[in-house]
Amino acid sequence: MEKIAIIGAGLIGRAWAMVFARAGHEVSLYDAQPGAVEQALPLIREGLAETQRVGLITESPDQIMPRFKACATLEEAVRDADYVQENTSEREDVKRVVFSQLDAAAKPSCILASSTSTIQTSRFADHVPGRSRCLVAHPVNPPHVVPIVELSPAEFTDPAVVERARVLHASVGQVPILVKKEVEGFILNRLQAALLIESWRLVDEGYVSAEDLDKTIRDGLGLRWAFMGPFETIDLNAPGGVADYAVRYGPKLTGMMQGVTARPWEGDLVKKVEAERRELMPQSEHAAREAWRDRRLMALVAHKRAMDKQP
């Protein structure tokens, strides 16, 4: 078992702590905010209990909690670590300082990974002497439920480090993917941006309501995407597979989007969508609906695991 250090014990840090500890690893926790780790531990216990209830883990919180170690300093947390997952503020200046500290404190073989969703490795680690062991490991919130992890190294990152990170994430039940070259938004947020830009535009131009657009995905295409992704979806949607699909439908699908460009999401457009959403869900129910979403995500992941075991 490897030793893991979690730097930053907020929502994402806590979820990562669960991911590694439930897989059997020892997990050191540090947060620059005094008392934050002590506040995080009971929340982690609750999170583990919930995932046990829905059948995503079999061990009890009592079995897992002893694997955590609250640390008073960053140095103490990373001293023996084999892998560090950093979850501090989403600010380049902060991460640059933190990665200098991590590199100074960690043993040479330790991997240093950031949860950042927007800052490339080459921007927060280029100045670090041990930059070849630095990379992005971008999760989707919450990573103890949603398995995807985008590994995005810089050109200076050692490929062996990327491979070790990939093996580690796969071994704890995450689904790591490789972003081969640095790109803004990595893969996931670019795909989300593409879908959102057309979604806002279709509402903006009066073709559909936001509610009906959501239905189109959640009761239509989203059902396929939830277990196949877009390429397998189209591979199965033409008798001759994806190449056949490209010939049959490519010109029509790319053609219909020619000249469509992103417009700002602001003004009356935002007011319109906001009004629709508040009709469907008052803002006062936001936190409860987030909890509902996480329960639904857990149940969906459990459903997919059960289905994956069938022939």
Q: Does 35 bind a second copy (CB under 8 A)?
A: no
Closer of 97 and 217 to a second copy (Cβ): 217
- The answer to whether 44 and 12 are in contact (CB under 8 A) is no
Q: How far is the CB of 283 from a second copy (least distance, A)?
A: 6
* Residue 65, CB-side half-sphere exposure with 13 Å CA sphere: 14
Q: Which is nearer to a second copy, 88 or 199 (CB)?
A: 199
Binding-site member from 93, 266, 268, 279 for a second copy (CB under 8 A): 266
Matching residue, tokens 């239905």: 215
180, 204, 279, 309: which one binds a second copy (CB under 8 A): 180
Please enumerate in sequence order all residues whose Cβ is within 8 A of that of 25, keeping only pairs 6 or more positions apart, or say none.
1, 2, 3, 4, 67, 172
Residue closer to a second copy, measured from CB, 34 or 267: 267
Question: Are 74 and 105 in contact, with CB atoms under 8 Å apart?
Answer: yes
In the bound state with a second copy, the residue whose beta carbon lies nearer, of 127 and 263, is: 263
Residue 107 is a binding residue for a second copy (CB under 8 A): no
How far, in Å, CA of 162 to CA of 176, rounded?
Answer: 10
305 binds a second copy (CB under 8 A): no
Spell out a b/e string for 24-59, using b for 16 or more CB atoms within 10 Å of the CB, else e.
Answer: ebbbbbbbeeeebbeebbeebbebbebbbeeebbee
Using the rule CB under 8 A, is 242 a contact of a second copy?
yes
User: With respect to a second copy, which residue has the nearer C-beta, 65 or 299?
Assistant: 299
Binding residue for a second copy, selected from 38, 46, 163, 290, defined by CB under 8 A? 290
167 binds a second copy (CB under 8 A): no
Q: How many residues does the chain have?
A: 311
The vertex-152 CA angle with 183 and 17, nearest 5°, equals 135
Site membership for a second copy, residue 212 (CB under 8 A): yes
The verdict on 288 binding a second copy (CB under 8 A) reads no
Q: Which stretch binds a second copy (CB under 8 A): 1-9, 57-65, 129-137, 139-147?
A: 139-147
Report the residue number, 163 or 274, with the smaller CB distance to a second copy: 274
SS3 (DSSP) at 23: coil
114 binds a second copy (CB under 8 A): no
Under the binding rule (CB under 8 A), the answer on residue 268 touching a second copy is no
CA pair distance 123, 108, nearest whole angstrom: 21
- Interface with a second copy includes 92 (CB under 8 A)? no
Residue 224 Cα distances to 66, 150, 234, 235, angstroms:
40, 21, 10, 12
CB of 3: closest distance to a second copy in angstroms?
26
